[in-house]
């Protein structure tokens, strides 16, 4: 048993509190516009790719739609009061691109601008630090008609949108996140077709990857230029990739998956280009994108990176899978604890993936910008007793603290998420919130995990 394994066997339930992380540690919650706001065609907002996708039969579980969602647009004041009441000091939210620019470019929607000013002002009045995410998956549908993330015009479109946001909100907001999980929206939306806009194929994927990687850096440069004293980051989905055995073929399969899941978007920001070593598949990406021509434009010196981790992946060699020649060994077959979505609960892998990213010498600071779990929450007599979620947070925060004690420059932790919301293709079935939402009445009920965080964050 190695040190990390021994630590997690013996210290899963070590009693800790927010004080152990230091006085300057950032404690927050995160949410996204498309998942929470509602008002999907009101107040001048344009149509997003998720608005279009949700109208297609069979795309979202049970035919759920996000058109009202958690109605944050009308209830933001009360929801921000709840964030404050639970003891958090940071509120991470995203701006809806089509609410600012209904056609993606062209005329600005003043009502959209005013809405985000109201949200920001309310945060500041409550003593909450706003962290803005510029792109959290809700591309204007008008731009998707022109190719969306596969279009060579994306950099021009994105630059204008970022410039507007920086000019409008940069005087009040100093903390900026450029993209949310670029591997997530490029793979699920442009290769596998499981998320909006529902495109498939490697050509779509390669184009979307390259344009997202370019936009990630360009967005950072724009914020740096226009917002004095800005603290700029971008977020990466990440999973510890574990080979199913010590066999060389499984080990190499895990390395290939790691390149896609964990290295594809971060390494270009360092000026190294795409991580092609040991994976001929990415030679095709380089040829497709002429990456050598754009290597300098892919680079940006971020102040921090956001890591978003939910589960590890165990993989094995599978010769019938094209290119990657690897497949997941599903956790249900391995007798491990699972969330309601079938995701493996593994705080040790959380610790290990943090250490993996911290090993890049270019990384200045790390913020865990998303971490959380979905369980079958039930409201009984006005209470949601979600002990599994409390255990999940307790274990993962222990893992985080261990990494911090070992010298990893971890600046903060943002729980996903404050209220139950629209969980993309899972619809309303997956509940991640610290606060239960009755989507028929919009009644909010703080779950026991919310109260647990309140006590955890208490400064007395």
The structure tokens listed for 113 are: 């601008």
Question: What is the sign, positive or negative, of the torsion defined by CA atoms of 125, 127, 133, 138?
Answer: negative
Contact status, residue 452 vs residue 22, Cβ threshold 8 Å: no
Q: How far apart are CA 296 and CA 289, in angstroms?
A: 14
Q: What is the pLDDT of residue 3?
A: 39
Q: How far apart are CA 195 and CA 188, in angstroms?
A: 5
Q: What is the pLDDT of residue 11?
A: 53
The structure tokens listed for 148 are: 């969306």
Number of domains within the chain:
1
Catalytic residue among 47, 144, 168, 370: 370
Q: What is the pLDDT of residue 460?
A: 66
Q: How far apart are CA 432 and CA 417, in angstroms?
A: 6
Q: Tokens 């092609």 identify what position?
A: 276
73: CATH = 3.20.20.80
Q: What is the pLDDT of residue 10?
A: 47
**What range defines the domain where residue 341 resides?**
3-457
Q: Which residues pair with 241 in a beta bridge?
A: 313
pTM metric for this prediction: 0.96
Q: Is 255 helix (H, G, I), strand (E, B) or coil?
A: helix
Q: What is the pLDDT of residue 217?
A: 98
Q: How far apart are CA 173 and CA 123, in angstroms?
A: 10
Q: What is the pLDDT of residue 231?
A: 99
370 is annotated as an active-site residue: yes
Catalytic residue among 181, 218, 267, 344: 181
Q: What is the pLDDT along the chain (460 residues), one digit of tens a residue?
A: 443 444 444 455 578 999 999 999 999 999 999 999 999 999 999 999 999 999 999 999 999 999 999 999 999 999 999 999 999 999 999 999 999 999 999 999 999 999 999 999 999 999 999 999 999 999 999 999 999 999 999 999 999 999 999 999 999 999 999 999 999 999 999 999 999 999 999 999 999 999 999 999 999 999 999 999 999 999 999 999 999 999 999 999 999 999 999 999 999 999 988 998 778 788 777 777 776 678 899 999 999 999 999 999 999 999 999 889 999 999 988 999 999 999 999 999 999 999 999 999 999 999 999 999 999 999 999 999 999 999 999 999 999 999 999 999 999 999 999 999 999 999 999 999 999 999 999 999 999 999 999 999 997 6
Contact status, residue 23 vs residue 35, Cβ threshold 8 Å: no
Longest distance between any two alpha carbons in the chain, whole Å = 62
Q: Is 30 helix (H, G, I), strand (E, B) or coil?
A: strand
406 is annotated as an active-site residue: no
Question: What is the sign, positive or negative, of the torsion defined by CA atoms of 105, 109, 114, 119?
Answer: negative
Concatenated DSSP letters of 118-181:
HHHHHHHHHTPEEEEEEESS--BHHHHTTTGGGSTTHHHHHHHHHHHHHHHHTTT--EEEEES-
């Amino acid at each position: 048993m190695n040190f990390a394994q021994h630590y997690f066997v013996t210290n899963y339930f070590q009693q800790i509190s927010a004080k152990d992380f230091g006085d300057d540690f950032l404690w927050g919650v995160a949410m996204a516009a498309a998942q929470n706001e509602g008002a999907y065609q009101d107040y001048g907002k344009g149509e997003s790719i998720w608005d279009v996708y949700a109208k297609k039969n069979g795309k979202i579980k049970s035919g759920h739609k996000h058109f009202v969602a958690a109605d944050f647009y009308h209830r933001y004041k009360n929801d921000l009061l709840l964030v404050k009441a639970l003891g958090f000091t940071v509120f991470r939210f995203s701006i809806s691109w089509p609410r600012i620019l209904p056609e993606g470019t062209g005329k600005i929607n003043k009502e959209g601008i005013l809405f985000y000013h109201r949200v920001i002002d309310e945060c500041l009045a409550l003593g909450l630090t706003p962290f803005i995410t510029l792109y959290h998956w809700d591309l204007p549908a008008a731009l998707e008609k022109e190719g969306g993330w596969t279009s060579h015009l994306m950099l021009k479109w994105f630059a204008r949108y970022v410039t507007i946001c920086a000019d409008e909100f940069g005087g009040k907001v100093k903390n900026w996140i450029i993209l949310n999980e670029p591997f997530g929206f490029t793979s699920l939306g442009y290769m596998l077709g499981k998320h909006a806009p529902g495109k498939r194929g490697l050509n779509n994927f390669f184009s979307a990857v390259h344009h997202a990687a370019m936009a990630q850096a360009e967005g950072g440069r724009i914020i740096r230029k226009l917002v004095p004293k800005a603290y700029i980051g971008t977020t990466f989905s990440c999973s510890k990739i574990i080979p199913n055995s010590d066999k060389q073929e499984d080990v190499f399969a895990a390395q290939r998956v790691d390149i896609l899941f964990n290295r594809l978007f971060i390494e270009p920001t360092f000026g190294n280009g795409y991580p092609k070593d040991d994976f001929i598949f990415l030679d095709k990406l380089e040829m497709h994108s002429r990456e050598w021509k754009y290597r300098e434009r892919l680079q940006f010196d971020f102040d921090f990176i956001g890591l978003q981790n939910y589960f590890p992946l165990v993989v094995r060699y599978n010769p019938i899978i094209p290119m990657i020649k690897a497949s997941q060994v599903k956790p249900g077959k391995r007798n491990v604890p699972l969330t309601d979505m079938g995701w493996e609960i593994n705080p040790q892998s959380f610790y290990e993936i943090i250490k993996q990213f911290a090993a890049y010498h270019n990384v200045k600071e790390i913020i865990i910008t998303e971490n959380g779990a979905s369980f079958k929450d039930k409201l009984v007599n006005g209470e949601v007793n979600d002990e599994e979620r409390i255990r999940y947070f307790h274990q993962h925060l222990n893992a985080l603290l261990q990494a911090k004690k070992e010298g990893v420059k971890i600046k903060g932790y943002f729980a996903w998420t404050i209220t139950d919301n629209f969980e993309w293709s899972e619809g309303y079935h997956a509940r991640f919130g610290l606060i239960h939402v009755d989507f028929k009445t919009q009644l909010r009920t703080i779950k026991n995990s919310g109260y647990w965080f309140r006590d955890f964050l208490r400064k007395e």
